Amino acid sequence: MTLKRFSLLLLSSLLISVACLVMTIYYFFYLPGINAEVVDQQQQEYILLKAAFSASAKNLTTLTYDYAVWDSLVEFVYAPSDEFIASNLLSNAFEVANVDAVFIHTVNKQFVWQYLDESIRDSSSALREFVEGKTATEAKTLLPSAADISAQQASTRHGYYVIAEQLFYITNTTILPSEGYGVIAGSITMARLVDKEMIDEIAGYSMVRFSIDKKINTPADAQPMNDFFSFDQLQVVNASHSWLIRNAFDDQTMVITVHHRKGSSPKLDAVSIILLLLIATLIVSLSMMMLSRFLILPLIHFNSSINASSNDNLMAKVPNQHFIDEIDNVSNSFNQLLIRFYEQQNYLETLTLQDALTEITNRRGLEAFADNVMAEWYQQATGFSVMMLDIDHFKLYNDQHDHLAGDKALVDVACCLMETMASHDALVARYGGEEFCVIVKDDNTQAVAFIAETLRSAVENLHIKHDVDGTLWLTISIGVMVVPKLFENAQQHQFHDLLKLADKQLYLAKNTGRNKMMLNVLS
């Protein structure tokens, strides 16, 4: 048998075997696995959406508890007064907290006071009746029961409820002294309408597209929909899945629908199979006729080396001694390219964290450092300080001396700050424009104040000429916020909150004469 005939016979057998293997793998292994993967992905979207609903409601539940466990509110329930309302139950405070309704009742379910946002005026009466249990088919209510009251401890009732064909999140907490136990005076109820803003917020948390619609009549033989907040294991792949949101003690319902990113399983049609087989036949035929083992084996070794190294997420150089010069050249070129790639990667990583002008840490590097500092503060109760620095009258300096001089002044100030802080456990970063930020791992007020004053004095002693406001030299103003260790409720504070507080001190420094430092301690 000639080599040509043997090659054709081998090719035919190979193609038939490959075709059978591909079809077997696709229909018996790949397709079921893909279906299971899609169902699992849709299940994860459902779980993420439920978690996002809970997360969006958490702030309101916490706010209700903060108001409820409060001595002053206990006194107000017993003796309502306009002075207390004007001082503590402020409409703009509820607006900022995205609270649409607030109801206060006594333990006897007597109405005391309410706040209503303009957006829910039309449904306010239905909302209040629902809270008080006047619409319940089983005479149940969100207000605390006799058992809740007799327990003399804080208790909460909350959930998503359908009222007047609208979805609300409602939370009710018993009002009692600040110790969290004692004689219960009544209860406070807060509600938030699940409107477009809240839907967008929940969608942003979960990265899941969903819609909420009114319940429509369904055929008698239709499959009943499960409750959204009950565990529900998905079984089949669909473009969307729907659940009911139903009240616990009346018959009001709404439908929530998740629109999945991937709504169907991949399909392989006959035309695609034929084309794949034809292309495979052509490629294999040409390869067997034209390529020799001196070309195939080196490429296999070349590919194996790359795969073995890439599996460790670290590319390694490939062997470069081959019989064919072209393959040898490719190996050498690949190794050289790999060297250049590592050099460029290191360079780019440096650029992402370094300010191009001053060559100190940029804002992105500041945020990365701040994440570590905040984590230590949360977990290890390690105090620190945040400083915001701004060059005084820098725009005027640019106008008088041109932007090149302004850039040089920025570089000089940055170098001065870096040199001054070299002996401290700190980070100096350019925040933007003529603003700098310094994070010092120290919460000793006197020490931090001394450091800030040293920075201010060091910049002034650069003697960068800038005659304005009676000052001969370029100066800086500094706002300092000292963050003490062992701070209660530290988790509630984010780094950008601390930056705002430091920036507020900077604002005070600039408004009271500039070229000074203003310091405050987080409390």
325 plus 375 within the same structural domain: no
Instruction: Let me know whether 315 and 464 are in one domain.
Output: no
Q: What is the pLDDT of residue 288?
A: 63
> Does residue 3 have a pLDDT over 60?
no
Q: Which of 273, 290, 307 is the last residue of a domain?
A: 290
Q: Which of 290, 309, 336 is the last residue of a domain?
A: 290
Backbone angles phi, psi at 495, to 5 degrees: -65, -35
On whether residue 358 sits in a domain, the answer given is no
Whether residue 503 contacts residue 497, with contact meaning beta carbons closer than 8 Å, is answered with no
Least Cα distance to 156 among 145, 168, 167 occurs for: 145
Any domain includes 236 = yes
Rounded mean pLDDT, 385-400: 94
Indicate left, alpha or beta for 150 from its phi (over 0: left) and psi (-120 to 50: alpha). alpha
Number of domains in the chain: 3
- For position 252, what pLDDT does the model report? 85
Please list the residues that pair with 436 across neighbouring strands: 389, 430
Q: Which two three-digit tokens encode residue 220?
A: 């008698």
Domain match, 105 and 224 both: yes
Give tens-digit pLDDT for 44-97.
999 999 999 988 888 999 999 999 999 999 999 999 999 999 999 999 999 999
Tens digits of residue pLDDT in 485-511: 888 888 889 999 999 999 999 999 999
Q: How would residue 299 be classed by pLDDT, with cut points 50, 70 and 90?
A: low
What Rg value do the Cα atoms of the chain yield, rounded?
34
Query: Same domain for 438 and 341?
Result: no
In a shared domain, residues 168 and 79: yes
Domain match, 477 and 513 both:
yes
**Beta-ladder partners of 241:** 258
Domain identity same for 472 and 334: no
Q: How far is CA 478 from the centre of its chain?
A: 31
In a domain, residue 55? The reply is yes
Instruction: Output phi, psi for 438, to 5 deg.
Output: -125, 130
Residue 301 lies inside a defined structural domain of this protein? yes
Provide the β-strand partners of residue 163. Answer: 166
- What is the residue range of 467's domain? 363-521
Q: Is residue 273 part of a domain?
A: yes
CA distance 206 to 211: 13
User: What 3-state DSSP class applies to 336?
Assistant: helix
**pTM exceeds 0.75, yes or no:** no
Residues 370 and 334 in one domain: no
**Does 357 reside within a domain?**
no
- Does residue 226 lie within any of the structural domains? yes
Same domain for 264 and 128? yes
Residue finishing a domain among 274, 290, 306: 290
Same domain as 264, residue 127: yes
Q: Is residue 356 part of a domain?
A: no
Both 236 and 262 in a single domain?
Answer: yes
CATH number for the domain harbouring residue 118 = 3.30.450.220
| pLDDT tens digits, one per residue of 358-374 | 989 999 999 999 999 99
457 versus 31: the higher-pLDDT residue is 457
Output the six-digit token pair for 478: 């500094």
pLDDT tops 50 at residue 180: yes
Q: What is the pLDDT of residues 221-264, one digit of tens each?
A: 445 678 888 877 888 888 888 899 888 777 788 999 999 888 77
pLDDT tens digit sequence for 124-153: 899 998 898 887 766 678 899 889 999 999
CATH code, 502: 3.30.70.270
Residue 156 is predicted with a pLDDT of: 93
CA 354, CA 450: separation in Å to the nearest integer?
28
Q: Do 460 and 337 share a domain, yes or no? A: no
Sheet of 186-193: strands edge to edge? 111-116, 101-106, 186-193, 166-175, 156-163
Considering only CA atoms, which of 523, 516, 423, 522 is closest in space to residue 476? 516
Could you tell me the pLDDT band of residue 21, with boundaries at 50, 70 and 90? Answer: confident
Confidence at residue 227, expressed as pLDDT on a 0 to 100 scale: 86
Share of the chain above pLDDT 90, in %: 48
- Tell which wins on pLDDT, 452 or 267: 452
